[in-house]
Structure 1
Amino acid sequence: MLKLVNLTVKYGNFEALHRVNLEVDHGEIVVLLGANGAGKSTTFQTISGLNKPVSGHIMLNGQSIAGKSPDKIVKMGIVQCAEDRKLFQQMTVQENLMLGGYVHRGKKSRLRATLQEVFELFPILYEKRSNPAGSLSGGQQQMLAIGRALMAKPEFMLLDEPSIGLAPLIVEQMFKSIQQINQEGTTILLAEQNANAALSIADKGYVYESGKVVVQGSAEELLANEEVRKAYVGA
């Protein structure tokens, strides 16, 4: 479904990604592992059209999307849920969600149905729908960020560090929700520091170091890899 071929990205003279090759098949959950600054977020921003690669290809269902504008990429079915959530803190939960469906703004019945789906996935958002987003807990804000991304009805979702700063019980609930989103038809590329939790729901993964993919394999292979376990799983 998504394929990166020899993708290279620079910030000025700094090479943030070096000839990255990566594949995500339809229906998969694929995880990107690596330390902060390894290139995971740069990969997401480049797929989303926020960065322009200096070389290489980004293919979605066989069609090149490298260099396309972010709004066109959203219309093609790719939506990113950023690490820092980027919520409108003074706006209500429901207002934030409706902004996520802007690409479908002319289809009111579709928006209402999608909003109901989000509320069913995250019931707390329905309870808090009239509250300002800034009044929510960290876990609830992450649910809102994911829910807002879902309002665009993506075929492919980029999730950047969804568990960061959350309590262990909330992390467990978050990953169950991610798994449910995937089972309902959304392909997911997930960047995550919590390697153990991410690999427990992923099909395969890629390990980044200094802008390069250094290890790749199935989730089971990565969990069995001693170096990966020591560096990212803590065992």
Structure 2
Amino acid sequence: MLKLNSVTVNYGKYSAVRQIDIEVSEGEIVVLLGANGAGKTTTFKTISGLLKPTGGTVNFEGAPINGKSPDRIVQAGIVQCAEDRKLFPQMSVQQNLMMGGYIHRSKKTQLKESLKEVYELFPILYDKRDESARLLSGGQQQMLAIGRALMAKPKLMLLDEPSIGLAPLVVEQMFTSIQHINKDGTTILLAEQNANAALSIADKGYVFENGRIVIEGTSEELFSNDEIRKAYIGA
């Protein structure tokens, strides 16, 4: 579904990502592991069209998308849920969700069905649908950010650090929801520092260090790698 070939991304003279190769097959959950500044968010922004690669290609469903505008990439089926959520704080929960479905605004029946699905996945959002997004807890705001992304009916969802700043119980609930979204047919590319939680639901993963991919493998292979366990799992 998604293939990055030798992708390099520069900020001026600084290479934030250097010749990375990533493959995501339809139906998978794939995780990008690494510390802050390792290159995960830059990779997401490049896939989303917010950054242009200096070298290499990004292909989605067999066609190149590097060079396409972000709105065209959303229309193609890739939706990013940003690390800092990027909610509209003064707007209500439901208004935020409807903004996520903007590209389907002419399909009223589909929007209603999508809204129903989000509320079934996150019932607390239905209870708070008329409240301002800024009044939600951190976990509820993350649910809203994911729900808003789902409103665009993505084929591939990019989730950037969904567990950051959340309590352990909320993190567990969040990853259960991500599994549910995947089982309902959405392919997931996940960037995470919480390796233990991410690898527990992922099919495979890539480990970033200083803009490069240094290790890749199935979740089982990464779990059993002593270096990965010491660096990211604490065992």
TM range (shorter): over 0.9
Aligned: 1:219 with 2:215:
no
Shift of 1:101: 0.2
**What is residue 86 of structure 1 aligned with on the other side?**
86
Shift of 1:203: 0.1
Residue ranges of structure 2 left out of the alignment (5+ in a row): none
State the SS of the aligned residue for 1:56: strand
State the SS of the aligned residue for 1:31: strand
**What is residue 59 of structure 1 aligned with on the other side?**
59
State the SS of the aligned residue for 2:36: coil
Aligned Cα root-mean-square deviation (Å) = 0.3
* TM-score normalised to structure 2 length: 1.00
Aligned: 1:4 with 2:11:
no
**What is residue 103 of structure 2 aligned with on the other side?**
103
- Pairing 1:11-30 to 2, within 5 Å after superposition: 11-30=11-30
State the SS of the aligned residue for 2:177: helix
User: 1 CA distance for matches of 2:174 and 2:111?
Assistant: 23
**What is residue 191 of structure 1 aligned with on the other side?**
191
Aligned length: 235
State the SS of the aligned residue for 1:6: strand
**What is residue 139 of structure 2 aligned with on the other side?**
139
Residue ranges of structure 1 left out of the alignment (5+ in a row): none
State the SS of the aligned residue for 2:58: strand
* TM-score normalised to structure 1 length: 1.00
**What is residue 200 of structure 1 aligned with on the other side?**
200
Shift of 1:148: 0.1
Aligned: 1:119 with 2:98:
no
User: 1 CA distance for matches of 2:187 and 2:133?
Assistant: 27
1:180 maps to a residue whose letter is H
**What is residue 47 of structure 1 aligned with on the other side?**
47
1:165 maps to a residue whose letter is G
Structure 1 segments of 4 or more deviating over 3 A?
none
User: 1 CA distance for matches of 2:122 and 2:202?
Assistant: 21
Q: Summarize deviations over 1:141-193 as a string: whole Å, max 9, x none.
A: 00000000000000000000000000000000000000000000000000011
Identity of aligned residues (%): 70
Q: Summarize deviations over 1:111-133 as a string: whole Å, max 9, x none.
A: 00000000000000000000000
